Structure 1
């Protein structure tokens, strides 16, 4: 039984007990993992020193490769599960990304899947034998669901979340649960229970948040497919920081019933759930599997949108028209991000299947004011109560988004209506901006003349830097913008920070436009390329509301035409 503050324990005693439990689950993995006495800044090479060649081959395979092998019986679900359990345990030792492993139940499940294939001559479903890691606040029956709050330790899931039931029926294996930040509202991952989760490519940098445990684990290849949630960048930040693919779907497409968080029922800025993966195909398989299960039949708040099979860009048909947002007009990206953007755009300009136009930012500063006001409509009273109930200390970035956020307001019904109306007005203005930007010529009412004129997708940074230095991820605008608009957005890896490539950017002189911009640029001036060495550089594709499949198709075209990623991360 877990030690809890409800039973009279201090927050430190609760944290120690949770860490003891986590360590015991890792110690149960066989063969046992060695202790890592010296951890390098870039942890990726450690795997090849500890794991077997077969374990490396399995864990560095993509979802689609493993799925094909498992379906044909060329590899067993047991062998795949064992390999990922060991690499996940190793990921914990070097990045601190795990809340618990589930070796006993995972291996039992894998044996059942192998037996099913042998008996029936076919896989259980499209995810047969695929190990899937799960962000801790997504409820699992019989397991703790503390959501990163010390005072919530001891809450036990009475059922599996809806999304887990669908994935289970599709044949997957759940084997690892991952860390999240205090409040679930950081773009990094630190809490009083487990400490700080770091970036596997550079331990001086953050793994991102709030699905940062997923980001670090998958970045280290301790998972090939994981579940994250996103209300301001919480899937995309970790995907970006760790060189992964990550998708924030439009709201009300994928099932969210059964996660644990404060402010349940708030509808002003709904959170979404989605995948992080080592491949684009992995994200696509995850989302399609869920939609094909018709989750709206059991979760009626979801919209009954079938998976759209039609290709919006058939061979010889419409070109993919990309609007390039270089800078949001609030916080300028660091030189490595801009350099990677330029390299990608130049490659795409050479393609006969892609057309590039510039996209001007539209009041992204106002967008932040709106969303930062609507995040905590109760003045953050539930968040504050959950933290204060255990007397645990407030983390730096928790204070940043709550107590130091000038837009937090305890709304009345009337003021909440007004704030929501402001949100909707901004959405309408941005739609008009899209229409006006899209047209080579436009009609008087601001609508593009025809579909061939329309910008299909926006290409933009994921943040104002590569993975931020620890405790510095304070500008959410490059991701939260699309939560406010409820646009689907996908992260894809492009390059890596390099002293050789990016040292020139250290000479760039820049006069910041505001306090946020100055804070971000000072970090670059202080640390330069050396401070971000080996950090992945990822970019973001954004589509109109409910054009999720179009965003994924656009990513496939970008990947094909430009040859991304430009480097091999692992």
Structure 2
């Protein structure tokens, strides 16, 4: 490592990626980046066959049905996704490497198994799944966005990948992540910036931004991300797909690479991004049904809880889905497209007899950020700084933002960590009480079921400008499950700038001044549903009910 400069290592990484793309057959088309429009989502249609387009735009839940029945082969589906992922890379810079040889060998095995045994390997038989790079794959690199970690390899597949493999999936693509893994964007010194397929001047989000862009391009239908402050939800929202931040302890995390591994005061989670809500549900159920806590005892032994009867619907004349609406967190006001989307969704929900809408009052969200931002880097970011310095690579702008410009980032003593952990627990108790107080006449069955709120203070921001984490990190501190879903896109006629707005603080002023409508052409607009701890299934079922009854 010492004999090579960071530039030489980065060049080797890009050459490795390009070589993996060159192995895709038939060869991928040449695409000149200087000739690209801002919105590149339609370009794959020019270069793929109608059959490849049909396969890659089919939902994961329908693909697994066709694969299990033999209507489709895993080989043809894998080939289609390899080609579309390769094109997505050329358009958005979202891939660290494709895995054509591995993936097609696995697909051939699965096709043979189905032909011989007349039964699928498991519930994901033949389904291609993309993987954020810091999830370990045996024998492959695992750099977590640091140039100095380029030569690190995973000794085995991450636990979650083992379970997905047992269920019959095909791993075919690895996706980009940012330096430090602590950006709501995706940029590093290996590959540069991963951009948004709907508007290449905007970010794809982060830190699972490669997954977000790949799914937005339909180069994947189901992918693996991780989240410690919004890293699944930001990319899902920015690229118009679904993403779930589960409660910690539901899904296995062993085998992922990052600095500060072992810290327990802000627990990261892994989870799905998908082109459909059912894809997220399929992912969760498939892993949890295999009882991952038997191998990873830190996990909570809670089975995936399904209901024979619908959880929501009319019962005894009562409304049975109660939605609290958080319009504003009291720190940074959302941009006009986000507020409009909230209003439009609420208007639709108000037409459904079995849904009750109430306003949710934010509770000290500024304090929540102070606590979590202090706990993120309890070592003063020493490990992160050392990992960057080891190769001599430059700091990315958002690495500076979250570390050197973060007034809460400082080395803590053990008693200081204990004190902040107590503050975290006190805040969780107070927020739980706020939730309990939504009950009518003390009836626990009448509390708010889910909170509907923004995913961020705006649509996907311009590159290097995702500087407000409050709408996502809030739920990491509370350890609440949060599910992102697409709603609309920025509307040039409706989403006009609010004139003469008086910002609440410096962060709010920065966000307000960032909004200029012409920046956000074609940007997806998404929202999130949030539930109480371990209400992961309830959050999914609430969105299913909302989509069915309110047609969202």
TM-score, normalised with respect to structure 1: 0.95
Hey, what does 2:492 align to over in structure 1?
499
The Cα of 1:558 is off from its aligned counterpart by 1.4
Secondary structure at 1:9 match in 2: coil
Judge conservation of contact 2:436–2:444 (CA < 8 Å) in 1. Answer: no
2:530 to 525, 542, 545: 542
Hey, what does 1:30 align to over in structure 2?
25
1:551 to 530, 539, 550: 539
Residues 417-566 of structure 1 aligned to structure 2 (within 5 Å) = 417-436=418-437, 438-441=438-441, 449-502=442-495, 505-524=496-515, 527-528=516-517, 530-564=518-552
Secondary structure at 2:543 match in 1: helix
Secondary structure at 1:368 match in 2: helix
Secondary structure at 2:494 match in 1: helix
Hey, what does 1:316 align to over in structure 2?
314
CA RMSD of aligned residues (A): 1.0
Residues 89-488 of structure 1 aligned to structure 2 (within 5 Å) = 89-310=86-307, 313-317=311-315, 319-436=320-437, 438-441=438-441, 449-488=442-481
C-alpha distance in structure 2 between counterparts of 1:416 and 1:552, whole Å: 34
Judge conservation of contact 1:219–1:244 (CA < 8 Å) in 2. Answer: yes
Secondary structure at 2:464 match in 1: coil
Judge conservation of contact 2:313–2:320 (CA < 8 Å) in 1. Answer: no
1:52 to 27, 49, 53: 49
The Cα of 1:271 is off from its aligned counterpart by 0.0
The Cα of 1:561 is off from its aligned counterpart by 2.0
Judge conservation of contact 1:319–1:353 (CA < 8 Å) in 2. Answer: yes
Secondary structure at 1:510 match in 2: coil
C-alpha distance in structure 2 between counterparts of 1:227 and 1:342, whole Å: 31
Hey, what does 1:444 align to over in structure 2?
none
Unaligned runs of 5+ in 1: 1-5, 442-448, 565-570
The Cα of 1:7 is off from its aligned counterpart by 4.4
TM-score, normalised with respect to structure 2: 0.98
Runs of 4+ residues deviating >4 angstroms: none
Secondary structure at 2:497 match in 1: helix
C-alpha distance in structure 1 between counterparts of 2:354 and 2:222, whole Å: 30
The Cα of 1:313 is off from its aligned counterpart by 2.3
The Cα of 1:409 is off from its aligned counterpart by 2.0
Unaligned runs of 5+ in 2: none
Judge conservation of contact 1:347–1:561 (CA < 8 Å) in 2. Answer: no
Secondary structure at 1:400 match in 2: helix
C-alpha distance in structure 2 between counterparts of 1:126 and 1:221, whole Å: 21
The Cα of 1:451 is off from its aligned counterpart by 2.5
The Cα of 1:45 is off from its aligned counterpart by 1.1
The Cα offsets for residues 369-417 of structure 1, whole Å up to 9 and x where unpaired, read as 0000000011100011001111100011000000100001211111110
Residues 53-72 of structure 1 aligned to structure 2 (within 5 Å) = 53-72=50-69
The Cα of 1:131 is off from its aligned counterpart by 0.4
The Cα of 1:312 is off from its aligned counterpart by 6.6
The Cα of 1:433 is off from its aligned counterpart by 1.1
